[in-house]
Amino acid sequence: MKRFVIAAFILGALATAASAEGLSSSYLGFKGGVNYVKVRGVEEDVENVDFFTGFAAGFFYQYNAHPRFAISPEINFSLKGAENPVEDYELKLAYIEIPVLLKILFPTRSTVTPWVYGGAYVSYLMSAKIDDLDVLEDFSSMDAGLLIGGGLDMMIAEGRQLLNLDIRFTHGMIPLDMEGKEDLYNVGFQFLAGWGFNL
């Protein structure tokens, strides 16, 4: 319950900030998509590990501080993990994840704006399973890392709504601590779509 209270508090804070006077070029919405991720480490520890396909879903807030610059925090539920077809097991790691993106925008004369971004994220581990076995205690409760990516903003309904598409690469910086190994990290790609409303 405590985890969900924290998540609700953060979302509420974003909504409060979004309603502040003068943020006419800001959007609040939801997004979701696919994670294509794996555990990366020294070769002997991940010799037979393949990419795992999970999902991510949550909310975003975007403040266009300048025609060429935007800030976009998010709060997502993100399912990560890895597959090992040789040893026949699947690792599933469920996180509450909070990325903060700093976007560089490339305005055009149309309603479509390309952008690139960098940022960082922090995550709290909600559950960890190898197949159906609960292994939460074997993993670090927190993850944090860096991300880079790019995408498109599409203005619809005369700018009152925002549709965005993005792809990002993420790399964890905190060891997963699986079975005492301190050199395993979450790494992978996310493919996301979002829909927001002008505030």
Assigned domain for 23 exists:
no
Residue 66 vs residue 179, higher pLDDT: 66
Q: Is residue 149 domain-resident?
A: yes
Q: Is residue 12 part of a domain?
A: no
For residue 25, what pLDDT band results from cuts at 50, 70 and 90?
confident
Task: Answer whether residue 43 is part of any domain.
Answer: yes
Residue 103 lies in a domain: yes
- Label residue 18 by pLDDT band (50, 70, 90): very low
Q: Worst-scoring range by mean pLDDT, 17-26, 46-55, 139-148, 165-174?
A: 17-26
pTM score above 0.85 = no
DSSP string, 44-104: GGSTT-B-EEEEEEEEEEEEEEETTEEEEEEEEEEEEEEEETTTTEEEEEEEEEEEEEEEE
The model's pLDDT over 112-122, given as tens digits with 9 standing for 90+, comes to 999 999 999 99
* pLDDT over 70 at 9, yes or no: no
Domain CATH for 166: 2.40.160.20
Residue among 65, 66, 72, 63 at smallest CA distance from 18: 63
pLDDT above 90 for 147? yes
So what's the pLDDT on residue 182? 67
Domain-located, residue 22: no
Q: What is the pLDDT of residue 103?
A: 96
The total of structural domains in the chain comes to 1
- pLDDT tops 90 at residue 95: yes
15 domain-assigned: no
Share of the chain above pLDDT 90, in %: 65
Alpha-carbon 152 to chain mean position: 17
| Predicted pLDDT at 168 | 98
Answer yes or no: is 24 within a domain: no
Domain of residue 43 covers 29-198
Structure confidence at residue 40 (pLDDT): 85
The answer to which of 69-83, 118-132, 170-184 has the lowest mean pLDDT is 170-184
